[in-house]
Chains A and B, each alone.
Chain A
Amino acid sequence: MDRHYDVIVAGGGNGGLVAAATTAKAGLKTLLVEKHNIPGGSASSFRRGRFEFEPSLHELCSVGTKEKPKEVYKIFDELGVNIDWRYEYNTFRAIVTGENGFDVKLRAGVENFCDDMEKAVPGCRESVKNFFDLAKKDAAALEYIYKMKGKPNPLTMVFKHADFMRTACHSVEDVEIALGMPEKARDILNTYWCYLGIPTDDLNAMHYISMVSSYVEDGAAMPYKRSHELSLGLEKAITDNGGEVWYNSEVSEFLYDNGRCVGVALTDGTKLYAKEVISNIIPHNVYSMSDNKNVPERELKLANARNFGITFVTIYLGLDCTKEELGIEDYTVFKSTYANPREQYNHRHDKPVGAYYVVNCLNEVIPDCSPEGTCMLFFTIPLYGNELPEDLTAENYKRYKNDVAKRYIEDYEKVMGIDISSHVEEIAVATPVTFARFLGTPDGEIYGYDNRNWDNVVMRANYEKTDFSVPGLTYCGGHASRGDGYSSAYITGEAAGKAVVRKLKGGN
């Protein structure tokens, strides 16, 4: 039996869930199909013994509070989803062990952050403050561009928003150097590069400034019951508004009629048709599931010009001691051997450990996220999906995972002077293979396409209609115009949903 809908959303990750909830809420007959048996993609949770682990979220930016809601808060609020947000008001602690090393901890709030930076690097305060001022200028410019429906007056741009134009076409490092920021201050401030996956000498300044500002201004937020809370909440918003969600329903083909995307087929042969299709599936996968004649040449060229974003090996530990017993006092610790992001990136494969990794302790923000007398640690190690060892096989995979985990745990024990190993009650290690399994993304990518400056978010937004021109098909998620990250996926999900609502129902 063929089924017909107003909207089919392919893939129930962060973007797909918000897109489907948005179209369902607007009264459109919406079906979301998801390959896994629970919603969220990376935004989920898993249990081992008495622990429930957060698989991917480090910290969500752009949330804000009920009194001062930001984009993400507003999206959930508008969809009627209540989340028990918990907040972290330290941005991070960065420990660099090598030459010119440092160990600094920075509080959220622009003034606090600038004070802490000044303490770490005397004389840098003004340049750091100016960095955050650029965020305000950028926001004002983006608001103007949005108001002008993407067609701003060039003269207004030049006379009123020249600084935006500067940050929007230069790298983070270029802008910081122009601001007169000392090298050490740049290295500290650029610790967050990994959240966007590209070192700051090739990362768009506007993008990075906006992300860092969002963490620093509002603090970071986390759902009390892991990301599974976010995803189940969004799923409820879909079904409460008359939408349907099908799990264990993997798309195997995108269906076209005269070049228009008209639906999807599932692996079991079920064909589903819709007036509009929203894809939370990465374009690469959509193309490989489409008859080649329906893929515009430019889209193929764009796909081939891009690389997949960075992905990770992650280690999840349930420990049978408290964080106090271990002496852990930080939610997020970035540990590096080198101070400079490019060096951290280049030396990501050093042995015994790569030059850069992140360790989170969720109990710092949510003390009762694990049973009394226990705590959880979460290691994140960047690498590209195609950088798994050449000789990796199904047979030696478990040994590989344990070998990586052992090296990083031991390194962190040494750096912090603590004993983790003897307290491991539960352990799970995920790699790009794990993400390939659960998300179905090519080489286990989780960040979409990499955010190199030539393909930065400003360009992606400007060229969205050229980049993706198939009628009836709209993209959302980490591979879409805002780049990776939970907040970006939610925002593109909402944008895709609203765009489809406009197409089908008219209006603004």
Chain B
Amino acid sequence: MAKSHIKSLNFADFLKAGEKRENIIAKAPAKPVPPTSSYRANRIASALHPERQSLIVSKIDEIADGVKSIHLVGNVKKGTEKVAYFSAGQYLVLFLDINGAKITRPYSISSSPKQALDGEYVLTIKRVNGGLASNFILDTFEVGTEVEASAPEGEFTYEPLRDAKNVVALAGGSGITPFLSLAKAIENGDEDCSLTLIYGARTEKEILFKDTFDRIADTCNKVNVIYVLSDERNDKYENGFITADLISKYAPEGDYSVFICGPQAMYDFVDKELAKLNLRKKFIRHETFGEYRNPQKDADYPYGGISEVKITAIIRDEKYEITASTNDTILNSLEKNGIAVPSRCRSGVCGWCHSKLVDGTVYIPKSVDGRRLADYDYGYIHPCCSFPLSDVTLIASVSK
């Protein structure tokens, strides 16, 4: 049996421990501590995730009718000397002041990560009928225009430990932009996967970046591009929609990950087609871009017959009251009224707009409800995908 000898330890050392500590402290220098920003982990963190990036338009390319590529570089005078590196598939949020409305919009970066190292991002933006931001940007941005942007954000990226080596990308319309970045990243050796891009457009004329994709496909054996035209018969291309058969026809042998980016109508269609292929959930990735619209069409929308409500937003110790449409998200209504609140993805997922609903009721479509479990218990909502059903009061944070 082991025998206890605790008494063999000196207890009097306890009385000297303080003095010993004082001696160690006394020997240390009284020099000021280094600034937190000087530590390496903090330096890398702020290089990758700056709070804001001040950018300036360096060039604008007309890509097609109503589509422009906006080249952005760091606005050194405003403190952005280097733009943040990113992963293909990520987006930037632009902070816009449109006649007093303070709005944000996420745009996928269409340029390659390598171009960011050379100091440039490219956002390719398509004019949306009645779209507040796209029209503003396409009509008013010119070389020299200054704009504030977020750090690169988003999870629509190739992850080698998660995704199959072969990526089948399904793109619709301007949903092509993240895949342009990915194709370039593969070409540059910055991502190690193969890409089979199935790109749906209405007509040949509406295919964006065709020359670039064709060039990459010609020179890089890891990239393959298939164009699918829905509104035009053309023997050079596939015709119709992106169906399960079409995907099977071009998908590589073995496991593949499907990445989808396009308009809502395309998601609805493609998801049904993918169901036929019986892929594991882990092999299907959606970019969740875009605002949820027309909530009243949803079967579970609790229609109350009201179209106008009052929103009271408490931000720090300021209180704002606005009238809003029940058809608009709370975030949209606040922004339209010049009230800046935090937001990034505007799709319910990222949680930047996390706000506390203290009074009233809202409708949150299930498909975009990206809240954390405890949020439900404590009344937290994501205003970017919450539609007011009554007068509401919420506590929001200041924009960041």
**Interface residues in chain A, defined as those with a beta carbon under 8 Å from any beta carbon in chain B:** 3, 37-38, 45-48, 50, 52, 123-124, 126-127, 130, 134, 158, 162-163, 165-166, 168-170, 174-175, 178-182, 225-226, 228-229, 232-233, 235-236, 244, 246-249, 268, 284-285, 287-288, 292, 295, 297-298, 300-305, 320, 385-386, 388, 392-395, 397-398, 402, 405-406, 409, 421, 423-427, 431-437, 440-444, 454-456, 458-459, 462-463
A304 to B25, CA, bound (A): 8
- Complex partner residue of B30 from A47, A162, A163, A300, CB under 8 angstroms: A300
A288 with B2, Cβ < 8 A, contacts A47-B370, A52-B373, A248-B397 known: no
Asked whether any CB of chain A lies closer than 8 Å to the CB of B85, the reply is: yes
Find out whether the CB atom of A169 lies under 8 angstroms from the CB atom of B281: no
Assuming the contacts A292-B32, A304-B29, asked whether A248 and B399 have C-beta atoms less than 8 A apart, the reply is: yes
- Chain A, residue nearest B5 (CB): A178
B375 at interface, CB cutoff 8 A: yes
Query: Mind listing 10 A-B residue pairs with CB under 8 Å?
Result: A38-B351, A46-B351, A47-B351, A123-B2, A126-B1, A246-B397, A247-B397, A300-B31, A305-B27, A395-B113
| Complex: A244 Cα to B46 Cα, angstroms | 29
Question: Which residue of A47, A392, A442 contacts B42 across the interface (Cβ within 8 Å)?
Answer: A442
Residue from A169, A305, A406, A425 in contact with B14 in the complex, judged by beta carbons closer than 8 Å? A169
The answer to whether A285 touches B28 (Cβ under 8 A) is: no
A433 and B48 in contact (CB under 8 A), knowing A170-B9, A288-B33? yes
> Taking the nearest CB of chain B, how far is it from the CB of A364, in angstroms?
18
- A246 contacts B316, C-beta separation under 8 Å: yes
Shortest beta-carbon distance from A273 to chain B in Å: 14
Which residues in chain B, 2-17, are within 8 Å of chain A measured between CB atoms? 2-6, 8-17
20 new A-B contacts at CB < 8 Å, known A305-B25, A434-B45, A436-B41: A37-B400, A38-B351, A45-B372, A46-B351, A46-B372, A47-B372, A168-B14, A169-B13, A179-B4, A232-B377, A246-B398, A288-B34, A385-B39, A386-B41, A388-B41, A388-B44, A398-B87, A444-B42, A455-B21, A455-B24
* A165 to B2 alpha-carbon distance, docked (Å): 23
- For chain B, residues 253 to 283, give those with C-beta under 8 angstroms from any C-beta of chain A: 280-282
- Complex Cα gap A456–B375 (Å): 38
Check B35 for interface membership: any CB of A closer than 8 A.
yes
Complex interface: chain A residues within 8 A of B41 (CB): 385-386, 388, 431-433, 435-436, 443-444
- Chain A's nearest CB lies how many Å from the CB of B65? 36
Q: Which residues on B sit within 8 Å (CB–CB) of A182?
A: 2
On whether the beta carbons of B11 and A178 are closer than 8 Å, the reply is: no
Chain A neighbourhood of B20, CB < 8 A: 454
The 5 A-B pairs at the shortest CB distance, nearest first, are namely A180-B2, A305-B28, A425-B282, A165-B14, A437-B45
1/0 per position for B230-270, CB-CB distance to A under 8 A?
A: 00000000000000000000000000000000000000000
Decide: A134 and B33 in contact? CB cutoff 8 A: no
CB neighbours (8 Å) of A229 from chain B are: 373-374, 377
**With contact pairs A169-B14, A300-B31, A386-B40 given, residues A48 and B378 touching in the complex (Cβ less than 8 Å):** no
Are the CB atoms of B39 and A442 closer together than 8 Å? yes
Please, which residues of chain A bring their CB within 8 A of the CB of B117?
395
CB neighbours (8 Å) of B141 from chain A are none
Query: Roughly how many angstroms separate A441 CA and B317 CA in the complex, as a whole number?
Result: 28
Residues from chain B with a CB closer than 8 A to the CB of A305 are 24-25, 27-28
Chain A residues contacting B219 (CB-CB under 8 Å) are none
Among listed B72-80, B158-166, B210-218, B304-312, interface-contacting one: B158-166
Residue on B nearest A296 in the bound complex, by CB: B30
In Å, the complex CA distance between A130 and B9 comes to 15
Contacts of B15 in A (CB 8 A): 165
Partner-A contacts on B (CB < 8 A): 1-6, 8-18, 20-21, 24-36, 39-42, 44-49, 84-85, 87, 113, 117, 155, 159-162, 280-282, 316-317, 342, 349, 351-352, 354, 370, 372-375, 377-378, 380, 397-400
| A222 to B378 alpha-carbon distance, docked (Å) | 18
- Chain A minimum-CB-distance residue to B286: A49
Give the most central of B6, B15, B30: most A CB within 10 Å. Answer: B6
Inter-subunit contact A181/B36 (CB<8 Å)? no
In the assembled complex, the CB of B31 is this many whole angstroms from the nearest CB of chain A, namely 6
Are A178 and B8 also in contact (CB < 8 A) when A284-B33, A300-B30, A305-B27 are?
Answer: yes
- Which residues in B have their C-beta under 8 angstroms from that of A298? 25
How distant is the Cα of A232 from the Cα of B41 in the complex, in angstroms? 28
Inter-chain CA distance A456–B397, complex, in Å, is 39
Nearest chain B residue, comparing its CB with the CB of A284:
B33
CB nearest neighbor in B for A295 = B32
Complex CA distance for A305 and B24, rounded to whole angstroms: 7
Inter-chain CA distance A409–B162, complex, in Å, is 12
Contacts of B317 in A (CB 8 A): 3, 244
Best-buried of B16, B32, B162, B317 by chain A (most CB within 10 Å)? B162
Contacts of B87 in A (CB 8 A): 398
CA A393 – CA B113 in complex, angstroms?
14
Q: Taking A225-B373, A285-B36, A409-B161 as contacts, is the C-beta distance between A433 and B44 under 8 angstroms? A: yes
A162 to B6, CA, bound (A): 10
**Given the complex, which residues of A lie within 8 Å of B351, measured CB to CB?**
37-38, 46-47
Given contacts A169-B11, A288-B35, A459-B18, contact A454 B24 (CB under 8 A): yes
For residue A444, which residues in chain B have a CB less than 8 angstroms away from its CB? 41-42, 45
A253 to B4, CA, bound (A): 53
Cα separation A424 to B10 with both chains bound (whole Å): 53
Contacts of B342 on A, CB cut-off 8 Å?
Answer: 37, 248
Chain B contacts for A458, CB-based, 8 A: 17
Complex contacts, A386 vs chain B, CB 8 Å? 39-41
- Cα distance A168–B20 in the bound complex, in angstroms: 14
In the complex the two chains form, is A180's CB within 8 Å of B3's CB? Answer: yes
CA distance A158 to B374 in the complex (A): 50
CB of B184 to closest CB in A, whole Å: 15
Which chain B positions have C-beta within 8 A of A285?
A: 36
Q: Give, as a whole number of angstroms, the nearest-CB distance from B183 to chain A.
A: 18
Q: Taking A38-B351, A52-B373, A288-B32 as contacts, is the C-beta distance between A134 and B27 under 8 angstroms? A: no
In the bound complex, do residue A397 and residue B44 qualify as a contact, i.e. CB atoms below 8 Å apart?
A: yes
Q: Is the CB of B11 within 8 A of A165?
A: yes
Q: Across the two chains, which residue of chain B brings its CB closest to A286?
A: B33
Separation in Å of the A369 CB from the closest CB of chain B?
A: 9
Q: How far is the CA of A148 from the CA of B49 in the complex (A)?
A: 50
Complex Cα distance A154/B48, Å? 55
Beta-carbon nearest neighbor of B9 in chain A: A166
On chain B, the residues within 8 Å of A440 by CB distance are: 36, 42
Are B374's CB and A228's CB within 8 A? yes
Contact B372 A436 (CB under 8 A): no
Give min CB distance, B349 to chain A, whole Å. Answer: 8
Q: Is the CB–CB distance between A130 and B6 below 8 Å?
A: yes
Given contacts A178-B6, A232-B380, contact A462 B32 (CB under 8 A): no
| Nearest-Cβ distance from residue B288 to partner chain A, whole angstroms | 11
Give the chain A neighbours of B49 by CB distance below 8 A. Answer: 437
On whether the beta carbons of A179 and B11 are closer than 8 Å, the reply is no
Question: Could you tell me if B21 and A402 are in contact, using CB atoms closer than 8 angstroms?
Answer: no
Measured between C-beta atoms, what is the minimum distance from A233 to chain B in Å?
7
| Contacts A179-B6, A300-B31, A386-B40 given; does A394 touch B374 at CB 8 Å | no
Contact call B6/A163, Cβ cutoff below 8 A:
yes
Chain A residue numbers with a CB within 8 Å of B6 are 130, 134, 163, 166, 175, 178-179
Tell me the minimal C-beta distance from A4 to chain B in angstroms. Answer: 12
- The interface residues of chain A lying within 8 Å CB-to-CB of B30 are 297, 300-301, 304
Q: Smallest CB-CB separation from B2: which chain A residue?
A: A180
A232 to B375, CA, bound (A): 8
Whether B29 and A301, one on each chain, are in contact in the complex, defined by CB atoms closer than 8 angstroms, is yes
Q: Hey, which chain A residues are within 8 Å of B31, CB to CB?
A: 300, 304
Residues of B within 8 A of A397 (CB): 44, 48
B32:A427 contact, CB within 8 angstroms:
no
Give bound CA distance, A313 to B129, whole Å: 47
A97 → B minimal CB distance (Å): 23
Asked if B282 and A37 make an inter-chain contact with CB atoms under 8 angstroms apart, the answer reads: no
